[in-house]
Amino acid sequence: MYLIIVGAGDIGTPLIHIASTAGNEVVVVERDREKAEAVASEFDCLVIHDDATIKETLQDAGADRADAIISTTDQDATNIMISLLAKELNIPSIVSVVHNPEHMDIFRRIGVNTMENPSRLIADHLFRAVQRPTIVDYMRVGDQAEVFEIEVTESAPIVDRRLSEAAEEGLLPDDTLVVAIAREDADGPITPRGNTVIHVGDIVTVYSARGATPDVTDIFGHYEDHTELS
């Protein structure tokens, strides 16, 4: 893949490392001389010290043969301008960081795949780790729904029941699905079916349209989650 990465800051630099070590052909555009020189000395990629909001800069970076461009600067206005130029230059895939959620719709109207401000996502994740310590990992889907991993305890009402039984008995609401199970003695992840039985110690991946609320985590035996942080 031929990839143009704009920005070599806290987001761009790890991205450059991941993309280049994965065998992609990477071109970096960075307007700060010191950052540009640092990237050029560390990574096996072409670095252009110039302004990516200038059309000719993206052309010099190989926009005509690029498979994708990722804009990682710390200014939404800059990222929007770069995305518009990338669209004009017919780069197939355009991805950008968005720092202000209010600007998300602008990027989407342009046709840009977006990533919300990573710092905000990390902060939210850390807060959830304190607020819901029993949840192993989670991902928000839209405004409310979440996919999360949680370990099944001995006191869980769902233990030793088939998923179909749990649904019939009202233990699993219609808007809550068990989508995967990690079990210690299994060869790999278990794809749950109606006759799949939940065991103590299972790490279940759950989709909940209402999010990982206390009434949902109760199903898996984590009653302490009723205590919220203020």
Task: Report residue 225's pLDDT band, with 50, 70 and 90 as the boundaries.
Answer: very low
Q: Is the pLDDT of residue 88 over 70?
A: yes
In tens, the pLDDT along 30-70 reads 999 999 999 999 999 999 999 999 999 999 999 999 999 99
In tens, the pLDDT along 167-196 reads 998 888 888 999 999 998 888 889 999 999
User: How many residues are given for the chain?
Assistant: 230
Specify the pLDDT at position 29. Answer: 98
Phi and psi angles of residue 141, each rounded to the nearest 5 degrees, phi first:
-125, 105
Q: Residue 175 class from Cβ within 10 Å (0-12 exposed, 13-18 middle, 19+ buried)?
A: exposed
Does the model's pTM come out above 0.85? no
Cα–Cα distance, 138 to 143 (Å, whole number):
14
What does the block give as tokens for 95?
């991805």
Specify the pLDDT at position 91. Answer: 97
Cα–Cα distance, 64 to 47 (Å, whole number):
17
Q: Who has greater pLDDT, 65 or 129?
A: 65
In tens, the pLDDT along 92-121 reads 999 999 988 889 899 989 999 887 666 666
Q: Residue 191 class from Cβ within 10 Å (0-12 exposed, 13-18 middle, 19+ buried)?
A: exposed
- SS3 state of residue 185: coil
Torsion 207-135-120-228 (CA) sign? positive
Distance from the first to the final alpha carbon of the chain: 47
H-helix or E-strand spanning residue 191: none
Cα–Cα distance, 119 to 125 (Å, whole number):
10
Instruction: Match 């004009």 to its residue by tokens.
Output: 88
Mean pLDDT, residues 192-209 taken together: 92
What does the block give as tokens for 199?
């065991």
What does the block give as tokens for 76?
């939404």
What does the block give as tokens for 109?
């109207």
Domains in the chain: ranges and CATH: 2-116 (3.40.50.720), 121-226 (3.30.70.1450)
Task: Report residue 124's pLDDT band, with 50, 70 and 90 as the boundaries.
Answer: low
